[in-house]
Amino acid sequence: MNTYKKPYIIAEIGCNHKGDMEIAKELIKVAKIFCNVDAVKFQKRNNKELLTEDQYNTPHPNPINSYGSTYGEHREFLEFDVNQHKELKAFCEEVGITYSTSVWDLTSAKEISSLNPEFIKIPSACNNNITMLTWLCENYKGELHISTGMTTKTEIDDLVNLFKKHNRNKDLVLYNCTSGYPVPFEDVCLLDINLLIEKYGNEVKHIGFSGHHLGIAVDVAAYTLGANIIERHYTLDRTWKGTDHAASLEPMGMRKLSRDLKAVYKALSFKNADILPIEQVQRDKLKNQKG
């Protein structure tokens, strides 16, 4: 019997659509038809709420990746409004893939909650936004997925306790994560998945893994350690302008990741007989030879 949960694979589109609805829809379609993943995820920000005036009006720290003359303009260019997200969710339903979004502030949380997606993600950067987390616990009924990058163990404890206080911990999915783009292998720290499972495995719904590394070997290892929800950034072209493309998988990489995770899931079982039927044929042929 397979004691592992089935892998659930999320293609994190984020802002890799370059502010273009047609590219966003193409990413959705390819994720479903070619990559065979379970869900796609976007991002939603209210930039005036999220950024200080100085941050909003300062030039992008890496101008070559910027879609505006200031960081605020850059972020606004990449932002879809709630009606566009509604259209994207409807498109996901049409092609048969789950829609989700990361929310970065309270206004965005309220807007995306109104669309009633299956789950909402809270990125590492916002997992200490108690006002937003409390509102979601009290008003949104779906799963809440939270990354734990750049977060202390005490802060993770506080986070889980907040969900327990609101009796929502069984809707919580905690992700092991290192915040960097891309992350070198020695900083992935996969064994922290063991710590999350030991401490919170019985208190939360699932333990996940959100990776920003290169390649797909690490994700398979994360799954075998017990992180059954695997999220990777995804793009149509890693050379496109923008911050996240370089740390993203292209469609073939995402397709291979999905294939490998499903193959490993099938393989993670015990023999149900000393000699399997497939072996019996070989045993009869090879083991009974006169020697």
Return the DSSP state at 191. Answer: T
At 243 the pLDDT is 76
| pLDDT band at residue 2 using 50, 70 and 90 as cut-offs | low
Beta strands in 15-124 (DSSP E): 39-44, 98-103, 119-122
Convert the pLDDT of each residue in 35-69 to its tens digit. Answer: 999 999 999 999 999 898 989 999 888 888 889 88
At 290 the pLDDT is 65
The first and second tokens of residue 156, run together, are: 């993770």
End-to-end alpha-carbon separation of the chain, Å?
A: 37
At 119 the pLDDT is 98
Lowest mean pLDDT among 227-241, 248-262, 276-290: 276-290
CA 38 to mean position of chain CA atoms: 11
Look at the block and give the residue holding tokens 């936004």: 129
At 279 the pLDDT is 92
Task: List the one residue out of 242, 239, 217 whose CA is nearest residue 230.
Answer: 217
The average pLDDT across 108-135 equals 98
Please answer whether residues 252 and 230 qualify as being in contact, where contact means their C-beta atoms are separated by less than 8 angstroms: no
Q: CA angle, corner 262, sides to 260 and 264, nearest 5?
A: 70
> How many residues in the chain?
291
Considering the entire predicted model, what is its pTM?
0.95
How far is 168 from 19, CA to CA, in rounded Å?
34
Convert the pLDDT of each residue in 263-273 to its tens digit. Answer: 999 999 999 99
Say which CATH topology domain 8-286 has.
Answer: TIM Barrel (3.20.20)
At 242 the pLDDT is 77
Look at the block and give the residue holding tokens 């506080």: 158
At 241 the pLDDT is 73
| pLDDT band at residue 245 using 50, 70 and 90 as cut-offs | confident
At 143 the pLDDT is 98
Q: What is the mean pLDDT of the chain?
A: 94
How far is 84 from 86, CA to CA, in rounded Å?
5
The first and second tokens of residue 12, run together, are: 């994190």
The first and second tokens of residue 28, run together, are: 């959705």
The first and second tokens of residue 82, run together, are: 């709630």
Convert the pLDDT of each residue in 85-118 to its tens digit. Answer: 999 999 999 999 999 999 999 999 999 999 999 9
**How many helices and strands (H and E) does the chain possess?**
12, 8
Lowest mean pLDDT among 24-28, 93-97, 197-201, 243-247: 243-247
At 291 the pLDDT is 55
